[in-house]
Structures are given as C-alpha cells and as structure tokens.
Amino acid sequence: MIHRPAGRRSQRGIALIAVLWGVALLSVLATAFIADTRTQSTLTRNLAENAKAEALADAGVYRAIDRLLTFDLAAAWRADGTVYRLQLGEGTVAVTAVDESGKIDLNRSPDQVLAGLFRNHGLDDGSAKALIDAIRDFTDRDGERRPAGAEDDDYHAAGRPWGAKDAPFESVAELQQVLGMPGALYERVARYLTVHAARAQVNPATAPRAVLLAIPGLAEDQVDALLARRNVPGQQVRSIGAAFTIRSEAGTQGGGVFVREAVVQRGADRRTPYRIREWRRVWDSDAAAASDGD
C-alpha cells in the first residue's frame, strides 16, 4: 500500500477551495455586471422616452397656439380649460388653454375680487384684508405702511433683507415673497391668478368657477347658469384676452411622461402673431396640485 503524504492532500484541498471561491466571486461580479447593464439600459430607455414625451408636449403647445389664433371659428379651440386630446407620433397629448383675462390680475384687479378669492379658499374676512394690505405694500413705491401691511422694516425684522419689491409683480410666483402669504393658500389660488391679463376686470366668458365666485355680487346660481351656457351646443367661447396659459401633457407608448406649460401673448401684427412670455416644465407634484378642484 502506498501512503500519500498528508501535506499534498491538504494543498489540493486548499487549491480546490480557492478555485471554488474564485468561481463564486466571478459569478457575483458577472451578476452585478449584468444587473448594472440592465439598469443602464433601463435608464437610457427612460431618458429616450421622456425626450420623446417632451417633444410631443411642445408640439401640443404649438398646435394650441395655431388653434387659438386661427380666424376659422369652426376650427378654433376654446380657451376655458376644455381638454383637447391628440394622437401625435408614438404618443398621446392632452392640451388645455386658459384665457389669462379670465383670471385675477395681481397688478390690476380690484382688492375686493382678490379678497373674495382668499376668503373662498379658507381665510376669514380680517385675514383676507390683512393679506391684501401686505400685497399692496409689497408693490407700491411709497414707504407708508397700510393698516395691516408690511414695508421694508417689517421684512428686515422677519429676516428678509430684500424688503418689499416696490414694483408690480412680474410673475405669480413672486406672491410667495409677500410677508404673511401662507404657503398652503398660495398653492390653492395660484392657478386663478395672473400678471398677463392687462385688464382690471375678469372676462366672464372664460373665467373658471372659482374666479367667478370671487366677484362681489355674483351669486352661486348665477355662476352656475353662466357656466352652463358655455356648454350649449354650438356655443363658441372665444377669448378676448391678450394672453393664454397652455398646458400640454404628453405620454408615449413606452411610458415617457412630460408636462409643458407656457404663457403665450398675442402679437401686435401678423409678422409677430404671438410671443412666449413663460415656458416651464411642470413636475408631478405641480401637476397633481393643478388637477385638484375646479
């Protein structure tokens, strides 16, 4: 009988274990590589689909501009929030247009209308009046504080070194800079406000229900009757406003999603039929907020 040295058997065992560990390590690395490759592939595919959705959403905006400015009444789109659904390329687009003259202009509308909007969205009468004072002090050029308003000293005391703007609002978002403006209230009312109406009075032909209810002396049954007349067959709601907010929500067959919002102003002549005043992407949280309520 031949006896093999114990040392050789031990060395072979160690070698076998090393090989097994090596194979296991390679398997882990291969699995990780495959997973990473799949992740990268998914990310690339998602980016491509979202890029397609962005292009479709932008196309929806330009389709809306064409339909809003057309002289063909039969082909014209309504600017009262009516949803127009389009099949474009490899996706679908839902487009709405809202006449800015149907909103409350922060720089021009009477205080009573703005206060009515605030009251209808949760503020009591005193708080609404106080907020109006703060808003007007924010934009007026003098340093005289209204009864419940706020001037530069109040902003400085509140840790806001920039003070009041002392100039008209250039965007609705600037309302958030007003001292005493509740964030939750802003989220509820921002879509009913504008700086592009270029008029003090609200256009009742295109104003949403929440804006009409803010007008003093206009009862709820009168508002409902006015809104009902818009849906009478053959009734064409044409905007007389100078600007529109267009919202275009696009989705592709591959799952891409993109929401574009633009504020478009009518041009002065045919050489410049329109101007784009605002151009922004709307994210999921903003889209959800805009879809809640009227």
pLDDT of amino acid 294 = 57
pTM for the model: 0.74
Is residue 2 included in any domain, yes or no? Answer: no
pLDDT band at 181 (very low <50, low <70, confident <90, very high): very high
**How far is 50 from 57, CA to CA, in rounded Å?**
10
Helix axes 125-139, 111-120, angle to 10 degrees: 130
Domain boundary among 181, 198, 213: 181
The residue ranking higher by pLDDT, 293 or 91, is: 91
| pLDDT mean over 251-262 | 93
pLDDT of amino acid 9 = 55
Paired sense of beta strands 104-105 and 257-269, if any: unpaired
Domain boundary among 159, 181, 203: 181
Structure tokens at 141: 């050029």
Per-residue pLDDT tens for 199-248? 899 988 888 999 999 999 989 999 999 888 887 766 655 565 789 999 99
Per-residue pLDDT tens for 9-37? 566 667 667 666 766 667 777 676 666 66
Is residue 127 included in any domain, yes or no? Answer: yes
**How far is 158 from 48, CA to CA, in rounded Å?**
46
Q: Is 257 helix (H, G, I), strand (E, B) or coil?
A: strand
Query: Side chain identity at 268, as an amino acid letter?
Result: A
Place of tokens 């100039």: 167
Q: Are residues 96 and 115 in the same domain?
A: no
Residue 114 scores a pLDDT above 90: yes
Q: Residue 143 maps to which CATH number?
A: 1.10.40.60
Is residue 43 included in any domain, yes or no? Answer: no
Query: Side chain identity at 62, as an amino acid letter?
Result: Y
**How far is 184 from 292, CA to CA, in rounded Å?**
13
pLDDT of amino acid 271 = 86
Q: Are residues 256 and 286 in the same domain?
A: yes
Is residue 164 included in any domain, yes or no? Answer: yes
Query: Side chain identity at 287, as an amino acid letter?
Result: A
Where does residue 227 rank: exposed (0-12), middle (13-18), buried (19+ CB within 10 A)? middle
pLDDT band at 291 (very low <50, low <70, confident <90, very high): very low
Which helix (H) or strand (E) segment is 55 a member of?
A: helix 6-69
| Average pLDDT score, the chain | 85
Q: Are residues 247 and 287 in the same domain?
A: yes
| pLDDT mean over 193-198 | 92
Is residue 204 included in any domain, yes or no? Answer: no
Q: Are residues 116 and 95 in the same domain?
A: no
Alpha-helix residue ranges (DSSP H) falling in 70-105: none
Is residue 169 included in any domain, yes or no? Answer: yes
The answer to whether residues 175 and 181 touch, using CB atoms and an 8 Å cutoff, is yes
The residue ranking higher by pLDDT, 264 or 13, is: 264
| pLDDT mean over 55-63 | 95
pLDDT of amino acid 170 = 94
Residue 276 scores a pLDDT above 80: yes
Instruction: Please state the domain count of the chain.
Output: 2
Query: Side chain identity at 1, as an amino acid letter?
Result: M
Per-residue pLDDT tens for 149-171? 899 999 999 999 888 999 999 99
| DSSP 8-class letter at 282 | -
Q: Could you tell me the residue range of the domain that residue 144 belongs to?
A: 111-181
- How remote is the C-alpha of 119 from its chain's centroid? 23
Is residue 39 included in any domain, yes or no? Answer: no
Residue 63 scores a pLDDT above 90: yes
**How far is 64 from 282, CA to CA, in rounded Å?**
17
CA-to-CA separations, 236 to 102, 165, 231, 232, in angstroms, rounded: 16, 41, 9, 9
The answer to whether residues 274 and 69 touch, using CB atoms and an 8 Å cutoff, is yes
Is residue 196 included in any domain, yes or no? Answer: no
Q: Residue 56 maps to which CATH number?
A: 3.30.1300.30
pLDDT of amino acid 183 = 94
pLDDT band at 198 (very low <50, low <70, confident <90, very high): confident
Domain boundary among 152, 181, 210: 181
Q: Are residues 97 and 115 in the same domain?
A: no
Q: Which residues pair with 218 in a beta bridge?
A: none
Residue 173 scores a pLDDT above 90: yes
Q: Is the dihedral of CA 119, 103, 94, 246 positive or negative?
A: negative
Q: Are residues 97 and 118 in the same domain?
A: no
